Amino acid sequence: MSEENLNRNNETAEAPEKQESMADYADELEKSFRKIRVGDMVTGTVAGVTDTQVMLDLGTYVGGVINKADLSNDPDFNLKNEVHPGDTITAKVMERDDGNGNLVLSRKEANDQETWQKFAEMMSERTVVPVTVLEAVKGGVTAKLMGVRAFIPASRIAASYVEDTSEWVGKTIDATVIEADPDKKRLVLSGRETARAKEAEDKKKRIAKCEVGSVMSGTVETLKPYGAFITLENGLSGLCHISQISRKRISHPSAVLKEGQQVTVKIIAVKDGKLSLSMKDVEKNEAPDDEVPDYENSGELTTTLGDLFKGLKL
């Protein structure tokens, strides 16, 4: 066989299979021999389930076990119905040896840690979540968020301070996390910010519907040296400046008004979300014109010169 044919045969021959080396398993080996400490979070595959334990394959030189009591906070949790071989579970290392060379793990602790981390994120991002008030307690109410008991102060249930907190039991409010302390297991929520934001949006919509020139009834809310704040029939509040209260000059609004008094006002301006009102303009529109005799319906004028001098003694 010529040298040319020999080279050709060598080129067409199948390349030998690549030989595996330890380098190909470096990641697996490193994972297998890494040192696991108490407090670490580990993830494994369920290798077996008994009435009292779950065995995990962690892909390391040791396995892990989770006792039934450390699987869930749910009192109705059914181990064999909820956990199956092949499931993936993340758990926290509680002990390095159960006496049989396995790590003692807790899924409850892992879930708690993840939950408090989530609370911290919600607080940072000011996430709004709906919660239902469970009971009234001293200084506020309680609710549950992601299974954790939370406290809502009376000053933060609604837009303003709530005197009777029992009225809120069973109600759902939109709240934000304002304190999350995993060490003290203290979770505090607030519904005040979202409630005030809703009020402001509602007020903005109602003000947008107010037209300059509209006449409404209202109640005097407070009196100030510069004017009177009046709550209108639509729930909005506006200022009636002292110069717009009366057609007469007055030194103080109390000269003609008192708190709680029912009045009629006219909207004379809407600016920057504020209403300017006038009582004076309403008075002017309601004032009767000077009385003029109505001759159209009084019959004919029958007074004569004789009538004028009748009874006059000369």
Residue whose pair of structure tokens reads 């809703």 in the numeric block: 198
pLDDT of 126? 95
Cα gap 279→269, rounded to integer Å: 13
pLDDT of 36? 82
pLDDT of 300? 45
List residues bridging with 145 in a β-sheet. 148
pLDDT of 203? 84
Give the DSSP per-residue string, the chain: --HHHHHHHHHHSPPPPPPP-GGGGHHHHHHHH----TT-EEEEEEEEE-SSEEEEE-SSSS-EEEEGGGT-S-TT--HHHH--TT-EEEEEEEES--SSSPEEEEHHHHHHHHHHHHHHHHHHHT--EEEEEEEEETTEEEEEETTEEEEEEGGGSSSS--S-GGGGTT-EEEEEEEEEETTTTEEEEE-HHHHHHHHHHHHHHHHHT--TT-EEEEEEEEEETTEEEEEETTS-EEEEEGGGT-SS--SSGGGT--TT-EEEEEEEEEETTEEEEESHHHHHHHSPPPP----TTS------HHHHHTT---
What is the mean pLDDT of each successive set of 10 residues along the chain, which is 314 residues long? 53 52 48 71 91 89 89 80 91 88 89 92 96 96 94 96 96 97 94 94 85 92 95 91 92 94 93 90 63 42 48 50
pLDDT of 108? 87
Instruction: Record the pTM.
Output: 0.61
